[in-house]
Amino acid sequence: MTEKNAPRRKAANAGVEGRVAAVKRLVRITDDGAFASLVGDRLSSPAAERVATQFVGGVTRWRRWLDYLASTCYRGEFDDLEPVLREILRLGTYDLAVVGNAPHAAVYQAVEATRILLRPGAAKLVNAVLRALDRKKPWKTDLQRETLEELSVRWSHPDWLVERWIQRFGLEDSRRLMEYNNRPPAFSLRIAGNREEFEQVMTNAQVRWQPSPWLDDFVRVERLQPLMRGNWISSGAASVQDESAGLVVRLLDPQPGDAIVDACAAPGGKSRYIAERLGGKGHLTAVDASKSRMHLLEGLAGSPNVDAVEADFRDWAAANQGSCDRVLLDAPCTGLGVLSSRADLRWHRTPADFDQLVPLQRELLSAAAQAVRPGGVLVYSTCSIAPEENEANADAFLSAHPEFQVEPADIWLSEDLVTPQGYLSTLPQRDGIDGAFGVRFRRLAD
């Protein structure tokens, strides 16, 4: 191979390596129940890692649609395929139907990945199915999308989710929500230092950006890699954080000198933002019950005014009654507002999750109330768009705790994001950011 063709060969190698890694990760996600964010192995180059990441996210989001398409050209029960072969066909179908790569390249890369992972006969099958798909192009002959199942297949979501969204939002809004969930997640950054200086950093790194319409210290960027290569993220000059998470901290409105607890703190993004807002004055306690997640809070513990505590928050609150000026309870939830960034979550969730999570959320809310001093603030938030986890919990809390009242969120946030009841509510299809909910309660003074 000539020197001139070396870059092309490297790109091809990265493509195959990335696809092989993607197939392995997809099998773990689909068959072992692993979460996409926890699945990964070191690859030989950033290019291969980008390929793997793209295909893992894309195939996971579009899984149901891909299965429908692939089954039109596979003579047999698609669900009965061995896991590796099934994921290779999903990957190749995604390459053809969604990414739109050149057919010869898409087929070649999938066949090469099959030769590495399986046997020659399997490679022949992959080649035959993908070539038939390219000829037939079933993605250009759209489903009628008249029934719930057809809508769910076309937009690759579980039936139960699509049904509840259509009942709540209507057909068109539900379609827009699913379109948002199927797009690769956008990147937003919270700027920790001087904004003008960081804007110049982004310009110099040739990173396109635009300001957040909701938060003056957040920007939306097209790419993260140039900033990560320049150590601007690891140095703390900026942090990767969704705007919806930033809105919750703004609703809490930390003030220098406050005693604050972040009740379910890991992975720590909101805690870091709170610590920045405190400016070294006051104290933040970041509590989390998960031993396996405590390492995510290690960076916080180095700050002189921040403690990271491994504990069940209900026990911590009982032992620290009335000690906090502000309490943030970002409760465990279904995560139905973050299905773009958590692509696999739609396949893990079931309606039964509400039966487990809602009682826990209400328990944690009652515990949080104990920790708030008279005159103090409690913010309850989720990354869900399900009313059971949001408005219903807020209303139940107010009924059980007359010593608290709601402070309207539009005092701190844009009224465009605030419900008539005064609650923060972001919807992906409307606001272009992750779905989130927040309510700010004030404890009445004695």
Residues tagged active-site = 383
Give the Cβ contact number of residue 235 at 10 Å. 10
Single out the residue of 151, 194, 193 nearest to residue 174, CA to CA. Answer: 151
Whether residue 240 contacts residue 187, with contact meaning beta carbons closer than 8 Å, is answered with: yes
Give the Cβ contact number of residue 374 at 10 Å. 11
